[in-house]
Structure 1
Amino acid sequence: LDLLMVKFDRTHTHRVNFDDFIQLCVVLQTLTAAFRDKDTDRDGIITVGYEEYLTMVFTSNI
């Protein structure tokens, strides 16, 4: 979550405005869903190649 805070804290004041918070939540939900699709045994670990990783990120519409 720290990484998302850095990305969405546009003023560098350790705060996220409401609109950015909503966008942050959507991004987190989208990436979590993409991860869960690959985590078939639900152990919190996936193995993907670089190209597949890029496909996951770029098709997540973030």
Structure 2
Amino acid sequence: MNYALTVFNQTGEVLLNESFSFDTDQEAIAHGRKRLSDESYMKTTHRLVRSGKLLLFYR
């Protein structure tokens, strides 16, 4: 399945926009959390989606 991880700043500018594939939502969520942590974006507005399904969100 294909997933998209996007991070925005307060003005709406895209700071990170990545696509990746995993077999399960759990694998994608773990990967998304790791990428957010690696880039210090855990407390920045972000979302992880699969086919319109919201898996992670922080505002």
Decide: shared fold, TM above 0.5: no
TM-score by length of 1: 0.29
TM-score by length of 2: 0.30
Task: Name the structure, 1 or 2, with higher relative contact order (CA <8 Å, separation 6+).
Answer: 2
Structure having the larger proportion of residues in helix: 1
